[in-house]
Chain A
Amino acid sequence: MTVNKAMNIIVVDDYNTMRRIIRNLLKQLGFDNVDEAADGGEALAKMQEKAYQLVISDWNMEPMTGLELLKLVRADEKLKLTPFIMVTAESKPENVIAAKQAGVSNYIVKPFNAETLKTKMTSVIGEF
């Protein structure tokens, strides 16, 4: 499977700094069509308006957490198959299990670099 680097990606994180970092990492990997959302609610609204081929979301956000967003995405008939990577500082086994049970595609522990992001993205969307 060939990955189309023109794919639409949405980065969800309440920290502007983190969104910029992830956007820069994606740019390094050749992905330029990146939108941002500051919380789960905003992300969900954007996902209803535009088709995204990958969601990269933080967990710890208010008022809607990344886990809540994931559950809503998986419960939505139109969005449920969208690949979803959780990027978070929440790394305890119970977190990973809860995310997996909710249908997360992969899980990245912060802080991380472009190489880790590439490995995880490859396992979710294929080689690029």
Chain B
Amino acid sequence: MADININLGRMVLSGLITLKERKGKITLEDVGDMFLQMSAEHQAKVSEHDRFMHEEISRLAAYIDEANKEIFAMTTNEKSEAAIMDASAHLDEVVKATEQASNSIMDAADKIQAAVGGIGGEKETAIMDATNLIYDACNFQDITGQRINKVIKLLANIEQRVSKLNALLSTVASEEAKVVPMHTPSDKDLLNGPQLAGQGVSQAEVDRLFASLSGGN
């Protein structure tokens, strides 16, 4: 707001100087005309800016809507098609499917371990080690599940905000933007994982930080 006032002051001053140079003497009528002209120019700029913003947000809303339809159209299982109404539900199905698959894999690993238990020797050790590796590999489901759930929340949030913004601009295009209240971080704001490859913090770095916080151990 302070910037706008400073800019307005500069514009008025500059207009008065130009007027003085051109006419030598400035009347009250001249000042009135100058303000009318400035106001018309300012309105034109604001309207153009708002129109551009509105168009961009409308395009974004249309894009999200189209993406939702495309993801919906990708559903191949006719039985579940009716249940999957949007992208979020579709992604949720992916999480459930991978969880189901992981459990099936681990069930099989359990059966193998039970079958070889007690045979002894190198064979048992080798088979047990291999099935433990299968278990470890199933970690993927937890990590991918968390990532997908974050995308689901992100999509829902963007869609909701764009929709609200679009509705607002459609009805009150010239209304001044409201000040967004300060966000107070909560415990849940700290939920930012899973880390992306090469972008997160490694176990070694976490250990160093943890040790420094503990006073070294």
Contact = CB atoms under 8 A, between A and B. Distances in A.
Interface of A: 13, 15-18, 20-21, 24-25, 28, 59-60, 65, 67-68, 88-98, 100, 106-114, 116, 123
Interface in B175-207: 187-188, 190-195, 200-203, 206
A128 B25 CA distance: 97
A31 B193 CA distance: 29
Interface in B126-158: 132, 135-136, 138-143, 145-146
A110 B194 contact: yes
B190 to A, nearest CB: 5
In the complex, the 6 A-B pairs of residues with the closest C-beta atoms, listed nearest first: A89-B193, A89-B194, A111-B139, A90-B193, A18-B142, A91-B201
A63 B102 CA distance: 24
18 contacts: A16-B99, A18-B139, A21-B136, A21-B139, A60-B191, A67-B187, A88-B193, A89-B142, A89-B194, A90-B192, A91-B195, A92-B192, A96-B209, A107-B206, A109-B195, A109-B202, A110-B143, A111-B140
Contact of B99 (A15, A97, A112): A15
A90 B187 contact: no
Given A21-B139, A25-B135, A91 B200 contact: yes
Residue of B99, B142, B188 ringed by the most chain A CB atoms within 10 A: B142
A106 to B, nearest CB: 7
Nearest to A13: B142
A98 B135 contact: no
A88 B210 CA distance: 14
Contacts of B200: 91-92, 109
